[in-house]
A and B are shown apart, each in its own frame.
Chain A
Amino acid sequence: MQLDDLYRRVIMDHYKTPRNRGKFEDGAVSVELNNPTCGDKITLQMRVEDGIVQEARFIGEGCSISMASASMMTDAVKGKTVEDAMGMAEDFSKLMQGEPVEFEYEDIEALSGVSKFPARIKCATLAWKAMQKGLEAAKN
């Protein structure tokens, strides 16, 4: 069990200086999700136009892993089609199962170590689940 597998420098960087932290005034898809077992919570907002995720922002409270993951995810989905974003969420879930997956947004791969800490997988996937839920809702 190597702690440095979990807490890589790039993860700490996203935790310390999260990207896309904040809220929209209006006109955005908004999803609130929490992890009832631990109290982590996230509010994710996305602006989806013409099938493309134009912008994504989040606020939340949680551990370094959950907040870093949210920071990376919001950065990575910007400019992507809804289908691509959904595909990324599936890839991310594979990454958490310990499968080697490459991401165009390379920082995400730093989270691969989480797969060795089963108790923390839920922390990492919270933001991605919120994204999937938000985009499902936007489709309908």
Chain B
Amino acid sequence: MNTLQIREMFPILHQEINGHPLVYLDNAATAQKPLQVIEAVKRYYEHDNANVHRGVHTLGSRATDVYEGARDKVARFLHARSTEEVVFVRGTTTAINIVAASYGRAVCQEGDEIVITPMEHHSNLIPWQQVAKATGATLKYIPLQEDGTISLEDAEQTITDRTKIVALTYVSNVLGVINPVRDIARIAHRHGAKILVDGAQSTPHMKVDVQDLDCDFYAFSGHKMCGPTGIGVLYGKKQLLEQMEPIEFGGEMIDHVDLYDSTWKELPWKFEGGTPIIAGAVGLGAAIDFLQEIGLDEIERHEKKLTAYAMDRLSAIGDLQIYGPRHERSGLITFNLGDIHPHDVATVLDAEGVAIRAGHHCCQPLMRRLNASATARASFYLYNTEEEVDRLVDSLIKTKEYFGYAIG
């Protein structure tokens, strides 16, 4: 399938913004949705809508089938050992919070260590700060090197026998760095620690195999991979999820309720209190089908090519500073254009129909490390083209001229 054919499946891309064809380059924040996903959600509401796991009627069993069917798809997509290891949650943030609040608080005590990195976005940083505060454990950071990557030597130094949990992102949403999570998992396990991988920025863009990575927990969101918002996944190794207590209690997750005590359902439902996001799960299942039809390898190859092209063209703009490593990175580029504040850059680009991100990207500690209060970011996905990169570059040159004229 070529990019033009793929673009045909995304209705939202075919519109004008401020008189220019839309160039959507904010995919790291959320991706656009193909017809296949939109139709699946629509079909569910038009034909199958009912609550799951309790209806004796036909719609109830259809809803249960599509919801659990989506779980099967996720399990195969991640190469999990079983569907019991796939918990549907609201998104990456919720998934990490469940692990922190349930597993983290249960296993950490004073003198223990939790290891993260300075490139974590707030969702994989604050939950661990809170666990550290509540339990007296020490929060430690694997330091960043000059180019924004982390070294295995530093990881070896930081992770010790006192480490209980290592939590890190697979791909940085600011630096584009791809972390060596498989190697870090090995180091963590050698010390008896568990590892959580934040897959928000990796799952949409590359093949992920949780057994191959040997991660204990893996979290991601549906909306960054062409699925709906409000649905995400917590993957956990069965034996760990089994020993964890749920943190949300209520309907759907209970087994037997007495006046003064209750028991929980089996995995994965014990973590799914309340009516779940059924349509969201259906949409996520459709998104997985869509991505797999195109092929994750194909998507990765396309983004790599596009990013290399963008790197070349952006590097040729004078005064444009790019953050993070040049090579071995994922499809997003964070930059600043001279002294022009990224908000001003984003506003001028928006006037040209080009949507990018400007701000701290929920990574305040990392921004301080980069010595920037904010940055601009262009992030690519399977439907972006070289022509769109050209539009980005042209608009940036215009921005420079505009501000050069206005300020200079």
Contact = CB atoms under 8 A, between A and B. Distances in A.
A37 B358 CA distance: 10
A37 B407 contact: no
B360 A38 contact: yes
Q: What size tier do the contact residues of chain B reach?
A: 20 to 34
A37 B359 CA distance: 7
A12 B374 contact: no
Most buried by A among B360, B374, B403, B406: B406
B351 interface: yes
Contacts of B360: 38-39
A119 B347 contact: yes
Nearest to B19: A1
B292 interface: no
Contacts of A3: 347-348, 351, 402
A3 B358 CA distance: 17
Q: Which 9 A-B pairs have the closest CB atoms?
A: A63-B341, A63-B343, A39-B360, A61-B373, A39-B374, A1-B18, A38-B359, A12-B406, A39-B373
A39 B367 contact: yes
B407 A120 contact: no
Interface residues of A, number: 22
A107 interface: no
Contacts of B319: none
Contacts of B402: 3, 7
Given A1-B351, A7-B406, A16-B407, A39 B364 contact: yes
Interface of A: 1, 3, 6-7, 9, 12, 15-16, 37-41, 61-65, 117, 119-120, 123
B343 A41 contact: no
9 contacts: A3-B348, A7-B344, A37-B359, A38-B360, A40-B343, A64-B341, A64-B344, A65-B344, A117-B347
A61 B344 CA distance: 13
A27 B341 CA distance: 32
B347 A38 contact: no
Given A3-B402, A7-B402, A7-B406, A41 B344 contact: no
Contact of A15 (B342, B348, B364, B407): B407
